[in-house]
Structure 1
């Protein structure tokens, strides 16, 4: 029996349509940015990055709250492809890296992919394996508290780089967290 070894951690962070007034229910939120990095398990370096804005169709007009939170502008999503084209590009990119494991900070990103894939009738592009780095971080510290990504960076003494709540920047920052906890676990 061949043992499949994962060579990459595919670290994904999504941004989605959102509001602070309840006008966009959770089940109608849509991905507006995919940020992803391939973290090489041998070198602990990022070998490749993927960033894609997506044009929402349920609530095509971004709320002021969403724009302030993410820094994603209306123009960014209006000029972007719709979900099927964007996820097809993403799938092509991720499958150019064999033996990857889908990872994210918490389960939100996995659930959002499942929701959007179902809405657009597109097959879920990942295997069933998913690593919740937020949970692994709490286990690493031996605490039950769940940290936000920015809190976790602070806890490790790592500076947040880029813009918080931008998919590609958050994916890079999550990779920095994972690199540090995995290298300490492997060397400690």
Structure 2
């Protein structure tokens, strides 16, 4: 099964870590999928000191309403999807468990501002649950890249960021699990080059 294979994926140990201290000990890399509502919630926990993956979280999410805008054939159809309120509660429990075991500060990393600035608050409103304060700030990895590398043409998407960092896209674009892996690879490459991943969005 797609979800199980991703959750149990064996991650290679990076050849080298970052020689620059990062402001956060653990980065939770997140990439939401869905148009009108969130239908996939994947997160990867990356330790900044040695760039090791500490764990993975994934839930297929059942929309409150099945909008026509959902892509036909997305793996969410006929899956073990749960309501967003349940997925959110389980995500927070998982995050807090990693925080307890790792210590130090943590932050969410996204490839853009949409995930946490727009989609999570919108989904919380639709689902009738409060939006957790921990989603009020995040690291937009594209903004970090553009500020640190100052390219002639700013990167505007994940594919462009991968190319700019000399990385090949892996997996299926717009499958959240694969997108999270690709964003994590960008984060690892940037930290290996001593880029500081600090907060960009609030």
TM range (shorter): 0.7 to 0.9
**Is there any run of 5+ residues in structure 1 with no aligned partner, and where?**
19-28
Compute the TM-score of the two structures, normalised by the length of structure 2: 0.74
2:24 equivalent to 1:6: yes
Of 99, 102, 115, the match for 2:122: 115
Root mean square deviation of aligned Cα: 2.1
Distance in 2 between the 1:180 and 1:101 partners?
18
Aligned length, in residue pairs: 166
Which residue in 2 is equivalent to 1:102? Answer: 108
SS at 2:178 equivalent: helix
**Is there any run of 5+ residues in structure 2 with no aligned partner, and where?**
1-22, 100-104, 197-202
**Which deviations, in whole Å up to 9, do the C-alpha atoms of 1:121-140 show, x marking residues without a partner?**
22223423311111112123
Which residue in 2 is equivalent to 1:160? Answer: 169
The structure-2 alpha-carbon separation of the partners of 1:7 and 1:38, relative to structure 1 and needing over 3 Å to count, comes to same
The structure-2 alpha-carbon separation of the partners of 1:67 and 1:95, relative to structure 1 and needing over 3 Å to count, comes to farther
Compute the TM-score of the two structures, normalised by the length of structure 1: 0.79
Distance in 2 between the 1:157 and 1:147 partners?
16
The alpha carbon displacement at 1:61 in A equals: 5.8
Q: Answer whether contact 1:9 1:39 (CA < 8 A) is retained.
A: yes
Q: Answer whether contact 1:67 1:73 (CA < 8 A) is retained.
A: no
